[in-house]
Structure 1
Amino acid sequence: MTEWTQDPLSGLPDKRQVAASFSRAADSYDSVAALQRKVGGELLARMPANLSPQRWLDLGCGTGYFSRALGERYGAAEGVALDIAEGMLRHAQPLGGAQQFVAGDAERLPLRDASCDLLFSSLALQWCANFAAVLSESRRVLRPGGVLAFSSLCVGTLRELRDSWQAVDGFVHVNRFRRFADYQQLCAGSGLQLLGLETQAEVLHYPDLRSLTHELKALGAHNLNPGRPGGLTGRARMLALIAAYEQFRQPQGLPASYQVVYGLLRKEN
């Protein structure tokens, strides 16, 4: 493996913790997933118009919202929905959209070589510490001409929350994210043809800090990092956090920034 395919991100949470957190969030996820639906819709709009897969994979399908969208878009194709969180799969399967619902890891896909024409993954791959392995597995399971379309998150995401906690204590309170430059290097060294890779900023606004932290918990995306403080957050620290975050307030409310990465790659013939 060359230096261009080494993934520098470390310190991501244990995958079992990620799976358990998202499994617990399965019933609440869709009620607070407006950003996730917007980003996934944007990813769908970026895919090649002439793509007509015989078999597609929704990688990190979650509640299956985009499995159902893919099922509608590519009605004659066979669909596979895959997620590491079995609770999400149990929620998604009765709602349909795909023919198969599979528990699996994006870094070690339980699929045969050259078995898919499309890998679609929206806001799931930021949880993978070894993105080079994700790209390698994608290349393996794609058929010649097949496409990997993904959205993920990079550094700058939840920066207001991170900076506010930094003003309070030295603990890791916000999930770590890969740099966009790392996505560029890893995609360039993947052996896949790069059709497009860019970032797009999204900013959500909340009336207060509690609304933001409640939403992150309902999504299953609250702090899971190694190095996070144990136990409950004391009242004094929480008041200090609120005061620090209030300095970011805008007329629309308290901002929460997301730096979304959109990638489109093709396996050449």
Structure 2
Amino acid sequence: MTDALRSAEDGQDGLPDKRQVAASFSRAAASYDAVAELQRTVGQQLLSALPADYQAQQWLDLGCGTGYFSRELAQRFPAAQGVALDIAEGMLRHARPLGGAQLFVAGDAEQLPLRSGSQQLIFSSLALQWCGDFSSVLREARRVLQPGGMLAFSSLCVGTLQELRDSWQAVDGFVHVNRFRRFSDYQHLCAASGLKVQGLQRRAEVLHFADLRELTRSLKDIGAHNLNPGRPDGLTGRARIRALVEAYEQFRQPEGLPATYQVVYGILRKDA
């Protein structure tokens, strides 16, 4: 299996915001699975989108996190050899003892430390939204896939956490919510990737919370609180928090306060 790995190429270190993403998710490794309802739902839907008869002898879980879907992939493809890769070392330390993959590798989706043509399936659920250059992600996926291989990914696009974004806008006008690329960007970049687009859709997934504190705690526990460059620094005053609570309460539904995630699901294939 080690022949799938290649030496890391010399090059520029990751951007500061990428290092911050890695550090944030590393800190969240121990708490992540307890609050990862959305991540499990989306990942299961992505798994179910794979053709029922599709077989992979080598797979990559790209942005594996705690390894939940590495273990799911190992069950689905019991004879295959798997690589679990993440930019967050803390996630890999958490995932490695739980198994699922044969290799656990620290790496960047925009510059994969894997040999060309080494994988039959790249599975990536709710990780690629943190990559600044999605065209590089697709280029690397095309390089690493074998002919006939498949990239199955889920990501987030504009409209995610719109309720929280609108509530903050009403309070102070600053951006306190992570930015994501537009769905039209995913469409354009996938079409230009050299991979065959077999499916690309956007679907809203809505979680409900008892109150704003429960929502913000959930975001912190999965490591996905505000990571925007230039985000407001310092503590948020009580008056602003009260104003935020009042603004968000305008969205309340019978089930609780909604948090909408605009999820992109993509299935791309490399020509044989």
Q: TM-score range by the shorter chain?
A: over 0.9
Which position in structure 2 is the counterpart of 1:174? Answer: 177
Which position in structure 2 is the counterpart of 1:102? Answer: 105
Deviations 1:5-29 (A, max 9, x none): xxxxxxx971100000000000000
Match of 2:251 among 248, 256, 260: 248
Q: Residue 46 of structure 2: SS of its match in structure 1?
A: helix
Pairing of 1:160-239 with structure 2 (within 5 A): 160-239=163-242
Match of 1:50 among 25, 50, 53: 53
Give 1:54 shift: 1.2
> Which letter maps to 2:158?
V
Contact 1:54/1:77 (CA < 8 Å) preserved in 2? yes
CA-based RMSD = 0.9
Separation in 2 of the partners of 1:252 and 1:72? 34
Deviations 1:154-199 (A, max 9, x none): 1110000000000111222000011111100000000000000001
Separation in 2 of the partners of 1:110 and 1:116? 12
Match of 1:38 among 26, 41, 57: 41
Separation in 1 of the partners of 2:51 and 2:134? 23
Pairing of 1:105-116 with structure 2 (within 5 A): 105-116=108-119
Which position in structure 1 is the counterpart of 2:136? Answer: 133
Deviations 1:194-216 (A, max 9, x none): 00000111111111000000000
Which position in structure 2 is the counterpart of 1:149? Answer: 152
Q: Residue 88 of structure 1: SS of its match in structure 2?
A: helix
TM-score (norm 1): 0.95
> Which letter maps to 1:247?
Q
Gaps of 5+ in 2: 1-14
Please tell me whether residue 80 in structure 1 is matched to residue 87 in structure 2.
Answer: no
Separation in 2 of the partners of 1:157 and 1:227? 19
Separation in 1 of the partners of 2:105 and 2:16? 22
Separation in 2 of the partners of 1:134 and 1:48? 23
Please tell me whether residue 263 in structure 1 is matched to residue 266 in structure 2.
Answer: yes
Q: Residue 123 of structure 2: SS of its match in structure 1?
A: strand
Deviations 1:86-110 (A, max 9, x none): 0000000000000000000000000
Deviations 1:215-240 (A, max 9, x none): 00000000010121111111011111
Which position in structure 2 is the counterpart of 1:62? Answer: 65
Separation in 1 of the partners of 2:119 and 2:138? 14
Contact 1:195/1:264 (CA < 8 Å) preserved in 2? yes
Contact 1:13/1:224 (CA < 8 Å) preserved in 2? no
Please tell me whether residue 18 in structure 1 is matched to residue 31 in structure 2.
Answer: no
Give 1:77 shift: 0.5
For these two proteins, the number of residue pairs brought into alignment is 258
Q: Residue 14 of structure 1: SS of its match in structure 2?
A: helix
Which position in structure 2 is the counterpart of 1:7? Answer: none
Give 1:50 shift: 2.1
Gaps of 5+ in 1: 1-11
Q: Residue 76 of structure 1: SS of its match in structure 2?
A: coil
> Which letter maps to 1:104?
G
Which position in structure 2 is the counterpart of 1:27? Answer: 30
Q: Residue 41 of structure 2: SS of its match in structure 1?
A: helix
Contact 1:55/1:115 (CA < 8 Å) preserved in 2? yes
Please tell me whether residue 121 in structure 1 is matched to residue 124 in structure 2.
Answer: yes
> Which letter maps to 2:19?
R
Separation in 1 of the partners of 2:87 and 2:140? 15
Separation in 2 of the partners of 1:155 and 1:13? 22
Q: Residue 263 of structure 2: SS of its match in structure 1?
A: strand
